[in-house]
Amino acid sequence: MINQLDHIAIAVKNTDEALMFYRDKLGLPVVLSEVMDDSKVRLTHLDLGNLHLQLVEPLTDEHPLQEFLETSGEGLHHLCFYTDDLDETVKEVSQKDLKLRKPEYHSAPLAKQAAFIDPATARGVIWEFTGPKTE
């Protein structure tokens, strides 16, 4: 079901300002930065060696991540696991009473797709699964 940890996501108000810390002070190289039009976020991945640190910046005032930033501030948002077969993984976790936040997948960087597990069914932790897009 789960192959490996894909990324650790950090919610940020401004990616460029956050990069002054993660890239410039910690020395983490930027792998990619991509605006996901369907979800209205900017995702910037930095190399941690065996996984990525993902900076997640909401691009609209109405984005649900804005509420997270207002109540919690910048910081850890979710952990994401990579799977070779997202459909099968979602089916398996659903059989174990874990619910998806939304029934449809969302676009992810590097031509992948992803789905969030509702934290109410996952001990309060936001988990995401990502994998190759299916045809």
Tell me the mean pLDDT in the region 29-40.
92
pLDDT tens digit sequence for 72-105 = 999 999 999 999 999 999 999 999 999 999 999 9
Q: What is the pLDDT of residue 111?
A: 85
Q: What is the pLDDT of residue 7?
A: 96
Sheet holding 30-36, edge to edge: 30-36, 41-47, 52-58, 4-11, 75-82, 127-132, 112-117, 106-108
- pTM beyond 0.75: the answer is yes
First to last CA, the chain: 20
Residue 113 — pLDDT band, cuts 50, 70, 90?
Answer: very high
Q: What is the pLDDT of residue 62?
A: 94
Q: How many CB atoms lie within 10 A of CB 108?
A: 25
Outline where DSSP puts E strands in the chain.
4-11, 30-36, 41-47, 52-58, 75-82, 106-108, 112-117, 127-132
Q: What is the pLDDT of residue 135?
A: 66
Residue 133 — pLDDT band, cuts 50, 70, 90?
Answer: confident
